[in-house]
Structure 1
């Protein structure tokens, strides 16, 4: 189906795709959300399922997803309640649990073929929970991944969620690390040089994030605690883990890919090879 012009006006980036795009309206109890399927002209791999970060709609990762589409790899990305104008009004008092249920409903549309999940930031935390429910998934891409305490997944976005994710070392209270330790598939982590910085080096408390800081005259954003990145990398056996570290990049990787096409090419190529190697 096509999407109306009124809906497109809510998108963060309304720009032409390099191939066909189809739209799915998923109906929930009291609202609906939309997903976009990018269809390549010549398919080289099954479509991947993508979960964006906080304050993202399904266009935020266009610099990556459009390159994958041009390379023959389609993707399905859904708008999740609580994160963008495109997802409004959405669920009442949405939470990570809400987003996980929305994601699983969207994923069902490509479930017979899709074995690869891509999660960005907050979406990576949801991706790990979703992958634990889907035995057919054998490849996971985590982009600037966040992990939150398990008890934070029930907290509605806003003050309650912020409080639940702000406890020092609380992010280690997640069963996602245990899931990764037993996961038999492959994991690609894409991490910015200035994300996951050591909080204590910048005067912050232990077991927290470095947050916003100035380095060499440039403002950087490092909301992911160093321990999260270390714990994720430690949870995946080395033989099944690939890592891509991006220089001059902080947590704002979507904007970085948009402003530096050569880096977007590099990241898309790495993700493309990772997906094709598992095919």
Structure 2
């Protein structure tokens, strides 16, 4: 593994913010393209580094409000840029899909696989994280942040119209083996969910088994792309003794932006994630 101290892609980052500690970069070659991951190194390590998968339209800086606090608390992280989601990941794979992203994630995770015991998945990245976790028997904890789940056939569909069509069917997200994986997973799961995400679609005049999308609610525009039934199915798949849930008031699907705009809430969420990880350290 060749570690670099600087990133040539820095001007393409969504958020160029100073890390509280050491940051290193890994370039990985995938045939005719490269992707990069950032390793936030803890000065005094209290737990093994976690592997992080960001959401759609995210690069590895989107979750800085959480990951920087974890780094300062002694928990490092490796987060990869994945094809099809950000300027920092271009040019990436031709016609990337969730399956492409999973392959990229698997390659990057291999750099810390001997030690890593926790995977964090954010939104679309949670769907990939669950697929990856099913291949990692050494894992003992999973953190799902406003998690999405997609039908298994959709993982092969290229992002764009084909992917949109593959995830459009009501209740289609139930056709996914990640629920069965969670039922047999022997570790612990922490779900972090915004109050206004995973809303009941029928309450707002939408088709059952679909998402509400954007709407004006409680004095603000809210974005709820996760169907209520996805959240329920995930919770029901994890035995109660191994499940923790953290609900954020006045927050929709945009948890990363919410943490960035409310530092006090970011502190609380980071403390909860830190405690969850250290319980298994």
Aligned residues: 278
Superposed CA offset, 1:204-263 (max 9, x none): 111100100101221000000000000000000000000000000000000000000010
Choose from 199, 206, 209 the match for 1:207. 209
- What is the alpha-carbon distance in structure 2 between the residues aligned to residue 101 and residue 2 of structure 1? 25
Name the structure 1 match of 2:81.
Answer: 79
In the alignment, what sits opposite 2:161?
A: 159
Q: Give 1:264's aligned residue.
A: 266
1:226 alignment counterpart: 228
Residue in 2 aligned with 1:240?
242
Give the drift of 1:7. 1.0
Q: Distance in 1 between matches of 2:266 and 2:6?
A: 27
Which of 51, 54, 66 is matched with 1:52 structurally?
54
Give the Cα separation in 2 of the matches to 1:134 and 1:217: 43
Aligned to 1:128: 130
Q: Mark the runs of 5 or more structure 2 residues left unpaired by the alignment.
A: none
CA displacement, residues 184-211 of structure 1 (integer Å, 9 cap, x when unaligned)? 0000000000000000111111110010
SS of equivalent residue, structure 1 residue 219: strand
CA distance in 2, matches of 1:33, 1:207: 35
CA–CA separation in structure 2 for the residues paired with 1:84 and 1:239: 37
Q: 1:111-151, CA deviations, whole angstroms, 9 ceiling, x for partnerless residues?
A: 11001000000000000000000100110000000000000
In the alignment, the residues of structure 2 paired with residue 137 and residue 92 of structure 1 have an alpha-carbon distance, to the nearest angstrom, of 31
Kindly state the Cα deviation for residue 40 of structure 1 after the two structures are TM-superposed: 1.1
1:37 aligns with 2:39: yes
1:20-56 C-alpha deviation (Å, 9 max, x unpaired): 0000000011100000000011100000000000000
1:101 is matched with 103
